[in-house]
Amino acid sequence: MLVELGLQAQHLLTSETFCNAVNTLSEQFSNAILSTKLDETQKRERLYMMHSCLNELVGILKSRMAAKDQIEMKLNDEPYSEG
């Protein structure tokens, strides 16, 4: 199951469409945060949390892909059993 989740994550992370969407959202959040007025603390905090969630999503996908890679490396390193 971990390998399947990793494959799905890899598919997303190597998708140009997905990466462009994530990068666009990230840029929009950053620009919106920077353009808030000094007294718009709640708006800035909400935007920051949304940006953090986007980063967390990408982090989860990368973690799943790394777990898949580790499982595959471990399976490839194990000697074949004869029998």
Is residue 38 in some structural domain? yes
pLDDT of 83 = 47
Owning domain of residue 44 = 2-77
The reported pLDDT for the residue numbered 7 is 96
pLDDT of residue 81: 54
* Domain contains 32: yes
What's the rounded Cα separation, in Å, for the pair 63 and 60?
Answer: 5
Domain for residue 82, yes or no?
Answer: no
49 belongs to a structural domain: yes
- Does any domain span residue 59? yes
Q: Is residue 17 domain-resident?
A: yes
The residue ranges of the chain whose pLDDT is under 50 are 83
Domains identified in the chain, total number = 1
Are 39 and 17 spatial neighbours (Cβ–Cβ below 8 Å)?
no
Angular region, 36: left φ>0, alpha ψ -120 to 50, beta rest: beta
User: In this structure, is residue 83 part of a structural domain?
Assistant: no
CB atoms within 10 A of CB 20: 10
